[in-house]
Amino acid sequence: MQTYLRGFLLLTLMLAGGFLPKAAGQKPNIIFIIGDDISWDDIGAYGNAKIKTPNLDKLAKEGLRFTNLYLTASSCSPSRTSILTGRYPHNTGAAELHSPLPAHLAYFPELLKKQGYFAALAGKWHEGPNTRRAYDTLLVDRRANGEGGEAQWLNLLRARPKDKPFFFWLAPFDAHRPWSARTEGHQHDPQTEIVVPPTLVDDRETRQDLAHYYNEISQLDHYVGQLRAELVRQGVAENTIIIFTADNGRAFPGSKTRLYDAGVKTPFIVNWPAGIRPGQVCESLVSSIDIAPTLLELAGTQPTESFQGLSFAQLLKNPEKAFRKYVFAEHNWHDYAAYERSVRSKDFLYIINKRPELDNGGPIDANQSPSAKALKAPGKLTVLQKDALLKPRPTEEFFDNRKDSLQTHNAIANKSYAAQLAEHRAILEQWQQETGDTEPKSITPDWYHRETGEPVASNGQRGEIPGSSKKADHVNRKGPF
């Protein structure tokens, strides 16, 4: 009886802590799903009552949902290379879109391979040829992967070596423009099943544009369901960690490439039946550079000194604990010239813009979308809708996230925030100095005309990469935490 009571008490304490035991000595399998251009609030589990994402919602309900995880860039490859290396974009040597990672950096899947993992990537791959060494298998043929990039997921799971733990980086093209005509998943009615963000005009064209976007997310959700069913069929679901996240916000004006929450706040769901109590929510502030150190710790190893992030594995056990005080992000060239930096605390967001003469209508696919054309058409716009077309832009922005969750009202001149503004200015400057960030004398110019979208004379030209003059890709200092 005493043995039973001790065992029951131990199990009760572990359940209360939110952490369940896994088989002794057994490394968890890890599946990392990174959606393409999906905003945090376009998932049912994050409060969108219109979109149909039953499998992602179930993943969250049976796992742990993070509500304050922030990307280091709202731009495809800089965001992904940051996750792969656990480093800020200017510290990767690949701060701009389509810049390849250098060979001297460590990539976390490579470290998992050294721990005996079978590592594979399926889908989108544009982090550079040096990252090939991080994987045993690369399934990047667009025809074989299908339009959405998910066609090889089940084949990969079935063909993997059965005597090794596995790590999969699954990178669908959903929901990246241009939209596909596939019909997997729910097909959303533009009039009744769409939430139009306040940054966009609520008209027929925009609703149809958003319906296509919702459909692609629902298609991705469909494959997540298939993947989970196959894990169950193989008997490996219990000790498989599934993570779902995205590389940046939706490819619409006001989201992708922006340093507001609409651009860098991301969905982040962790499901691990053997290791996480279901139905939990973590509100702690976390950066995407912390993902790699966390997965390495869960796999039983530690990151090398090049990783600037820190493990938040403790939050899987105690999601109510505090973690970071600050997260940082940057906006460098992505189709158009840009140089912005931000620091966000739980309550405030501070942004500096060194190219305020330029508007920020988003990347070319967003800038030339039906939704963007609706913003540019004659008619009255709200303050939020005007923002995508605004120029010159403020050189500094400061928002009270407690009162202004949409980050609409710039409080930079409000004297009641003087102390908080000074704190965030100082922290951002400290971060830039410690991590070797620089403002190039000549940044990469626009590659496309901002109005017509046509290529311009400077198309293909590259300027100086931020951080390169200080060799920031060799700087390992972590900056403020």
- Domain ranges across the chain: 27-318, 328-474
Per the listing, tokens 């700087």 go with 475
Q: Is the pLDDT of residue 2 over 80?
A: no
* Segment (H or E) for 390: none
Q: Is pLDDT of 8 > 60?
A: no
C-alpha triplet 464, 469, 471: angle, nearest 5°: 115
**Residue 198: pLDDT above 90?**
yes
Percent helix, strand, coil in the chain, to 5, is 35, 15, 55
C-alpha of 326 from chain center: 17
Answer left, alpha or beta for residue 335, where phi above 0 means left and psi between -120 and 50 means alpha.
Answer: left
Query: Where residue 6 falls among pLDDT bands split at 50, 70, 90?
Result: very low
| Secondary structure (3-state) at 350 | strand
Amino acid identity of residue 212, one-letter, is H
Nearest to 105 by CA among 95, 97, 115: 95
Measured CA to CA, the distance from residue 320 to residue 325 in angstroms comes to 14
By CB atoms closer than 10 A (0-12, 13-18, 19+), residue 293 is buried
Query: For the chain, what is the mean pLDDT?
Result: 95
Q: Is residue 461 within 8 Å of 467, Cβ to Cβ?
A: no
For residue 159, the SS3 value is helix
Element spanning 228, H or E: helix 204-234
pLDDT of residue 414 exceeding 70? yes
At residue 171, does pLDDT exceed 80? yes
- Check whether 19 has a pLDDT greater than 90: no
**Angle of CA points 78, 81, 84, to nearest 5°:** 155
Burial of 320 (C-beta count, 10 Å sphere; 0-12/13-18/19+): exposed
CB-based contacts of 192, cutoff 8 Å, min separation 6? none
Q: Rounded CA gap, 179 and 190, in Å?
A: 15
Do 24 and 239 meet the contact criterion of CB atoms below 8 Å apart? no
Q: Model confidence over 212-228: pLDDT tens digits?
A: 999 999 999 999 999 99
If you classify domain 27-318 with CATH, what class do you get? alpha beta
Rounded to whole angstroms, what are the CA distances from 351 to 138, 189, 254, 323, 347?
A: 38, 37, 15, 22, 14
Q: Which residue has the tokens 């005996």?
A: 116
Strand partners, 34: 245
Helix (H) or strand (E) holding 139: strand 137-139
Which pLDDT belongs to residue 28? 99
Task: Give the residue-averaged pLDDT of 19-40.
Answer: 83
Residue 119 pLDDT: 99
State the distance between the two ends of the chain, measured CA to CA, in whole angstroms: 48
pLDDT bucket at 25, cuts 50 / 70 / 90? low
- Mean pLDDT check: name the lowest of 24-28, 94-98, 315-319, 447-451: 24-28
Burial of 403 (0-12, 13-18, 19+ CB in 10 A): exposed
Are 24 and 233 in contact by the 8 Å Cβ rule? The answer is: no
pLDDT at residue 356, as a whole number: 98
Summarize the confidence of residues 127-151 as an average pLDDT: 95
Greatest pairwise CA separation for the chain in angstroms: 82
| Average pLDDT rounded to a whole number, residues 103-128 | 98
> Do the Cβ atoms of 102 and 130 come closer than 8 Å?
yes
The packing angle between helices 54-61 and 204-234, to 10°, is 60
User: pTM higher than 0.85 for the full model?
Assistant: yes
Q: Which has more pLDDT, 420 or 12?
A: 420
Residue 15 pLDDT > 80, yes or no? no
Reduced to 3 states (helix: H, G, I; strand: E, B; else coil), residue 391 is coil
Nearest of 251, 206, 208 to residue 36 by alpha carbon: 251
Question: What span, in angstroms and rounded, lies between the C-alpha atoms of 303 and 294?
Answer: 9
Tokens (6 digits) for 350? 């501070």
For 358, the enclosing helix (H) or strand (E) is: none
